Each structure stands twice: as C-alpha cells, then as structure tokens.
C-alpha cells in the first residue's frame, strides 16, 4: 500500500520509529487498536477510495454528535455550524405530544419527521378551521371504524342537536317555548327509549294508553288515481264531508271523513303522538308501519265490534287528558 501511494502520488515516505509512550496525542489509542487487531480473525479486505473513506468518517462523526446532543438535559441547544448535516430539533426528547386518543406517535431519530397513527380498528379524522381567512389544521381524532356519521340525525321537530368535536357526546335540546317528552316502550320484556318529541309549553299534559298490533281499517270518502297534491287538495275543498286528504307515492289521492280528522304521511310513532297532542280534537291515533298516522275524534269505547282488528306492526293509542 505504501509503495502504491508513493508511486501514484510521486511522494517520498520516510518511516520513523516512535516509542510507544511519548505523549503524542492519539498514539496511545493507536497502540491499543493495534494490539486489539491481533486478536481479530481474518477479515476480508475492502478497498475504499479517498472520497468514500472521508464520507464514512464524516458520517460516523456526525452520528456521534447527534447521539451526544440528544442526551443533553437542556431544552434547546445550538448546533456547531462547522459540523455539516445536523438537524436542529424544536424539542429535545420528542415528548409532550398532544393528547390524541386511540393513537400512537411515530418519530425518526432526530425528532423531525413525526406522524400520528390511529390504533387498530380506528380511523383518523382531520379537522380544519377557517381563521382570519386561512384554513388551519386542528388536532385530529381517531374514531371507531364503522361509526355512523353525525350528520344523519333523527328528525326531531322543534329541536336542535348539540355535539362535541368527536361526535361522541350528542344531546337534543328543544327550541325555546317547547318542552321535551321522552317516550319509552316495553319490547321483549325490556324498556327501550323511543325518539323524544318537543311539545309547546303551556299545553295540557296528556297521557296515552297504547294497544300494540291493533289496526283500524280506513273507509275513504273518495279516491282518485294519478293526482297531485294541488288536485287532491281541491277535491277535498269541494267536498263538505272531507276532513283531510293524502297523496301516496304512487299518486293516489285519498279523502278522509269522520271519525278521521287528519292524516299524516312519513311520520314515526312519536311524531304521530306529537301531532295528536297538538290537536284538541284528537282523542285517538293509529300509527301504521308504512309511516302513516291517522287522527280520530273518537275513543276505543266508541268502536263497534270488528272496527279494530289485530295486525302486526300497528299501534293504536288513546289520549287521556
């Protein structure tokens, strides 16, 4: 190797014997390394160019600097500008992360590239907010996979919904001058909460007696095919016995008569009860599984034998005030 270096660089090399201990910096270290090398097994020779060798040494030095700086106790520190390829972290230990539930943090050795990953079976949602005309990213959150979107609220009339940022704690509040009524129902031996409804304040408080799977067949005053809302309304106005009308999805106009005083389509049971509560003439209501609500001005005592029949899914309810 000495011969090759002398030939290629046109240099003269002079070999000088130096005692093992003459206080020359690095000489003791070189002596120890030489002794340790004698105990090593044969190692395959690897040739490096001068630039490759410098690159390896520089990388090792930089790594030593990085290891040393990460172990400092100071919260902030300056990097020696003479040492290249160093990173200046904005925090020393990659700690004090934001409190993102159901997630963990990924970091590189220099605390620079840090990412957040949701735990298994959770999906990340990233919130944004417009501040001073600019969109700014907010703290993300991880929600359980398969969670229903918060936007599909039930249709509770005269009420609004309150939600937290993660769509977890959601409550319903009635509008001003309305009072909430919470319905419950016994199903399979268990009480289950039904959809609430908001009734105007000052209304007479009424109770309801429910008879499930009871159906009152409706005898329509008149029926007209291929009719729209306006035509059906006009047909009812021109008939003195018509109390209300409805137009089905297949454009069938049905006129109702006493004892039916009103009919509502696309309503659930609680909405049907709310409609009955708002009408003084309502004494009884019949909710159909097809989401129809019929309001009657009679009670069950006024029904003749055979007027009400047993049928699954129907609910007959009498109002007691």
pLDDT tens column, 22-62: 556 566 666 776 777 666 666 666 677 777 777 777 787 87
Task: pLDDT band for 85, please (50, 70, 90 cuts).
Answer: very low
Task: Give the integer Cα–Cα distance in Å for 47 and 193.
Answer: 80
The better pLDDT of the pair 166, 126 is held by 126
Please report, for residues 123, 162, 262, the alpha-carbon distance to residue 147 in angstroms, rounded to integers and kept in the order given. 9, 18, 39
Residue at token pair 């040739």: 47
Distance separating alpha carbons of residues 84 and 71, to the nearest angstrom: 19
Rounded mean pLDDT, 110-132? 77
**Residue intervals in the chain for CATH 3.50.4.10:** 207-320
Distances (CA, A) of 11 to 4, 7, 183: 10, 7, 101
- Please give the span between the terminal C-alpha atoms of the chain, in angstroms, as a whole number: 111
Name which residue leads in pLDDT, 78 or 272.
272
The larger pLDDT score, comparing residue 109 to residue 59, is at: 59
Q: What single DSSP character describes residue 65?
A: H
Closest CA to 152 of 163, 141, 139, 138: 163
User: How much is the pLDDT for 315?
Assistant: 93
**Alpha-helical regions (H) of the chain:** 2-9, 27-37, 50-70, 229-237, 269-278
**What integer pLDDT is reported at residue 195 of this predicted model?**
74
pLDDT at 136: 78
Question: Which pLDDT belongs to residue 203?
Answer: 64
Q: Characterize 216-239 residue by residue with b for buried, 16 or more Cβ atoms within 10 angstroms of its Cβ, and e for exposed.
A: bebebbbeeeebeeeebeebbeee
d(CA 189, CA 187) in angstroms, rounded, equals 5
The helix/strand/coil state of 307 is: coil
Q: CATH number of the domain at 207-320, out of 3.50.4.10, 1.10.150.110, 2.40.30.40, 3.20.20.140?
A: 3.50.4.10
Residue 193 backbone phi and psi in degrees, to 5: -75, 140
Residue 74 pLDDT > 60, yes or no?
no
Average pLDDT across the chain, whole number: 77
């Amino acid at each position: 190797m000495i011969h090759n270096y002398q030939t290629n660089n046109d240099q003269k090399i002079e070999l000088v014997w130096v005692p093992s201990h003459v206080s020359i910096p690095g000489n003791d270290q070189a002596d120890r390394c030489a002794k340790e090398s004698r105990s090593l097994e044969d190692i395959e020779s690897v040739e490096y160019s001068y630039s490759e060798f410098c690159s390896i040494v520089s990388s090792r030095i930089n790594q030593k600097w990085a290891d040393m700086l990460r172990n400092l106790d100071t919260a902030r520190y300056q990097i020696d500008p003479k040492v290249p390829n160093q990173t200046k972290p904005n925090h020393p230990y990659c700690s004090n992360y934001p409190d993102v539930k159901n997630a963990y943090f990924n970091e590189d050795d220099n605390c620079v590239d840090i990412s957040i990953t949701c735990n298994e079976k959770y999906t990340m949602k990233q919130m944004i907010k417009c501040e001073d005309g600019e969109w700014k990213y907010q703290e993300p959150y991880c929600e359980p996979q398969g969670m229903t979107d918060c936007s599909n609220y039930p249709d509770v009339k005269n009420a609004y919904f309150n939600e937290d940022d993660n769509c977890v704690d959601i409550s319903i509040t009635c509008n001003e001058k309305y009072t909430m009524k919470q319905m419950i129902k016994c199903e399979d031996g268990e009480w289950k909460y039904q959809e609430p409804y908001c009734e105007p304040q000052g209304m007479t408080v009424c109770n309801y007696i429910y008879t499930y799977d009871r159906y009152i067949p409706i005898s329509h005053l008149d029926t007209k095919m291929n009719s729209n809302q306006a035509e059906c309304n006009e047909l009812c106005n021109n008939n003195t016995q018509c109390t209300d009308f409805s137009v089905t999805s297949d454009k069938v106009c049905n006129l109702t008569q006493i004892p039916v005083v009103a009919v509502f389509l696309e309503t659930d049971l609680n909405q049907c009860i709310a409609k009955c509560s708002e009408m003084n003439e309502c004494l009884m209501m019949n909710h159909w599984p097809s989401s129809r609500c019929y309001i009657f001005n009679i009670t069950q005592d006024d029904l003749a034998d055979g007027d009400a029949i047993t049928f699954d899914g129907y609910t007959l309810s009498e109002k007691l005030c």
